[in-house]
Structure 1
Amino acid sequence: MKKTGLFFGTFNPIHIGHLIIANHMAEFSDLDHVWFVVTPKSPFKAKQTLLGDHHRYQMVLEATQEYPKLEPCDIEFKLPQPNYTIDTLTHLQERYGDSRQFALIMGEDNLNGFHKWKNYEAILEYYQLYVYPRISGQKIAEALKDHPKIHRVAAPVMEISSTFIRREHKAGKNIRPLLPESVWRYMDEMNFYR
């Protein structure tokens, strides 16, 4: 049975930091693949800042084409909104449960708010979490520090953010090195984030 890590995000836009983390998880953990689950709307983010679903999915597709262990996933486009991780996991398990085992990939900073996620106890009961380091001054809740379902992976620490890319691109800065070349071309051709 293949073990697939699910890397959720709006990917607005996807950048080299996302690729580095996903590739590290696919190459240096026991995950066989990583799916970039492109989220139409995060319950924690304002919708108006997002490019259309199709464009963000297309940029993830462009970015992952040369990486056989990385794939885009648009499953949340077909689910009721707002999307909650537990609902997506349930849907994926029903659809692929005989051939895939799913796990979540998240930044260490997200563990602090994990108790706010819908049915987070069920997620921890049935799924493993693969956590990569992020720079933050926050402490991890004691209950999650040594949890048997939470695996810390020593992935590179990335300080690149999509918010930074959008803001600086709009300000006329050259952010091209922060994006896969194919994503830069798509963004530039479509005149996004100006």
Structure 2
Amino acid sequence: MKDIARRVGIYAGTFDPIHAGHLTFARHAIETCQLDKIFFLVEPRPRRKQGVRALQHREEMVRLAIKDQADYGMIVLEQANFSVEETLPKLKALFKGAELHMLLGEDVFQHLNSWPHVEELLNSTNFIVGLRSGDEEVMRQHLHSIEKARGIRFNTTFLVTEYLEISSSKIRLALKHNQKPTGHLSVLKNYIQENKLYTTYPK
């Protein structure tokens, strides 16, 4: 990738749909961790989730949400599933010479220790973990337990971020029942309506 930024954030997720919490966390990460740019990466088949909307719909919603933000970008990897073993080398090749920072929600971070080949990720990247208010001490203890179990110390920044109590599942449920959900992005309204992604849409 030409003209690569020096400090790059990678924000992988389901984004079904992307919402204000995702964007607020990304902005907080850019400002606090001095990232040059964040690239969103939509997971084709997310772990522990079923019944997600088609990949092309989720990718298009991300494009719509970030289109006016110069320090946000999006990457698409031709993989049926993401894994440390296969995905990390592609990211390192794509952003050769850059310092990689992986953005994770605390729910994902809690399962990090169960990922295959996670040591490669720990040794190659930094972590920025978005936290809900009041969860920082619990997550620090979880980090300590991972480091102790793995015998590795790794660079992790915890960010308590507004709107992280918002969830895509709550937004989907509200739209299904013709309600106006908190944290929903108005820029997605027409696309969701035209493609009938969540059954109904509030007037």
In structure 1, runs of 5+ residues without a counterpart are none
The structure 1 residue matched to 2:102, chosen from 101, 104, 110, is: 104
Cα distance in structure 2, aligned partners of 1:89 and 1:58: 23
RMSD: 2.2
Helix, strand or coil at the partner of 1:129: strand
Return the offset for 1:74: 1.7
2:186 paired residue number: 181
2:198 paired residue number: 193
Return the offset for 1:14: 0.5
Return the offset for 1:28: 2.2
Is the Cα–Cα contact under 8 Å of residues 25 and 161 in structure 2 kept in the other structure?
Answer: yes
Return the offset for 1:157: 5.1
Cα distance in structure 2, aligned partners of 1:43 and 1:106: 14
Helix, strand or coil at the partner of 1:105: strand
Change (3 A) 1:145 1:95: closer
Instruction: Deviation per CA, 1:121-168: give whole Å up to 9, x if none.
Output: 111111111112136677514234794411223433511111111112
In structure 2, runs of 5+ residues without a counterpart are none
2:18 paired residue number: 14
How many aligned positions are there? 187
Identity among equivalent pairs (%): 24
Instruction: Deviation per CA, 1:37-61: give whole Å up to 9, x if none.
Output: 1111113222xx2111111111100
Is the Cα–Cα contact under 8 Å of residues 24 and 163 in structure 2 kept in the other structure?
Answer: no
Cα distance in structure 2, aligned partners of 1:127 and 1:155: 21
1:24 paired residue number: 28
Cα distance in structure 1, aligned partners of 2:6 and 2:100: 8
Instruction: Deviation per CA, 1:67-122: give whole Å up to 9, x if none.
Output: 111112222xx02x332144222111123314x32221112333321111121111
Helix, strand or coil at the partner of 1:178: coil
Cα distance in structure 2, aligned partners of 1:64 and 1:95: 20
**TM-score normalized by the length of structure 1:** 0.86
Cα distance in structure 2, aligned partners of 1:67 and 1:141: 32
